[in-house]
Amino acid sequence: MPERTREEILQAATVEFSEKGLGGARIEQIARRASANKRMIYHYFHSKEALFLAVLERTYDDIRRDEAALNLEKLDPIAGMRRLVEFSFGYFTDHPHFIRLLNSENLHGARHLKKSSRIREMNSPLVAMIRRMLERGWKSGVFRARIDPVQLYISIAALGYFYFANIHTLSTVFGRDLSSPKLIQQRRQHAVDMVLGYLRP
């Protein structure tokens, strides 16, 4: 029961923080969403900021777990990289709260993530996996040499993040409904083509 209550609080807090940001979120509303009470929230998380950090850590843990489940190292390097780009792009489509939470934390200068003792260790396996995939691609002659896996992942994430974080303004500026399934698919293929083109020797 305690673990289920904690989980329900985290789920409710994820919705509240993603909709209203850290400043606009209210513990009272999180308690209502979770069918809990404020005392229980403070018992588990001690403060609104600590709860926000727990939500951020859970959000990163979720995407890293899903990335690991792709089993990219069982694929040839090109197929693995294509799958990673497609997954990364699709994750923003399926998890819009991810963008909103990151936007909120960036407004605070990553103040909360800097307090996390887990965030870097969460990302280490991803970087190592990409490094191994790049090395396999280089040794087999399909990728060029000396590519920084962190820089590459930032670029992969940016191709989807920027699109979805700015989809309403971009749609207005260019007179296209960029949220339509057809244009989202076109953009995903564009992201794949850009990354694979960059990696080509």
According to DSSP, residue 142 is labeled S
Let me know the angle formed at the C-alpha of 116 by 114 and 118, rounded to the nearest 5 degrees: 130
Q: Are residues 100 and 133 in the same domain?
A: yes
For residue 149, the domain's CATH number is 1.10.357.10
Residues 70-89, mean pLDDT to the nearest whole number: 94
Residue 185 in domain? yes
Residue 187 in domain? yes
Would you list the DSSP string of 152-196? HHHHHHHHHHHHHHTHHHHHHHHTS-TTSHHHHHHHHHHHHHHHH
Residue 51 in domain? no
Q: Are residues 61 and 100 in the same domain?
A: yes
pLDDT value of residue 39? 87
Q: What is the pLDDT of residues 167-187, one digit of tens each?
A: 999 999 999 999 999 999 999
HSE of 16, CA atoms in CB hemisphere, 13 A:
23
Q: Are residues 1 and 65 in the same domain?
A: no
The structural domain count of the chain equals 2
Q: Are residues 4 and 74 in the same domain?
A: no
Q: What is the pLDDT of residues 137-167, one digit of tens each?
A: 999 999 999 999 999 999 999 999 999 999 9
Q: Sorting pLDDT into bands at 50, 70 and 90, what band is 199?
A: very high
Residue 52 in domain? no
Q: Sorting pLDDT into bands at 50, 70 and 90, what band is 6?
A: confident
3-class DSSP assignment, residue 74: helix
According to DSSP, residue 141 is labeled T
Q: What is the pLDDT of residues 96-138, one digit of tens each?
A: 899 999 999 998 899 998 998 888 887 788 899 999 999 999 9
Q: Are residues 35 and 128 in the same domain?
A: no
pLDDT value of residue 62? 92
Domain end point (choices 46, 67, 82): 46
pLDDT value of residue 142? 97
Task: Describe the crossing of helices 48-68 and 96-107 by its angle, rounded to 10 degrees.
Answer: 130
Q: Are residues 100 and 31 in the same domain?
A: no
Q: Are residues 13 and 91 in the same domain?
A: no
pLDDT of residue 2 exceeding 80, the answer is no
Residue 159 in domain? yes
Q: Are residues 75 and 148 in the same domain?
A: yes
Domain containing residue 3: 1-46
Q: Are residues 68 and 17 in the same domain?
A: no
Residues 61-79, mean pLDDT to the nearest whole number: 92
Residue 121 in domain? yes
Q: Are residues 120 and 179 in the same domain?
A: yes
pLDDT value of residue 119? 83
Q: Are residues 79 and 144 in the same domain?
A: yes
Q: What is the pLDDT of residues 14-59, one digit of tens each?
A: 999 999 988 898 999 998 888 888 888 888 898 999 999 999 999 9
Q: Are residues 160 and 127 in the same domain?
A: yes
pLDDT value of residue 3? 78
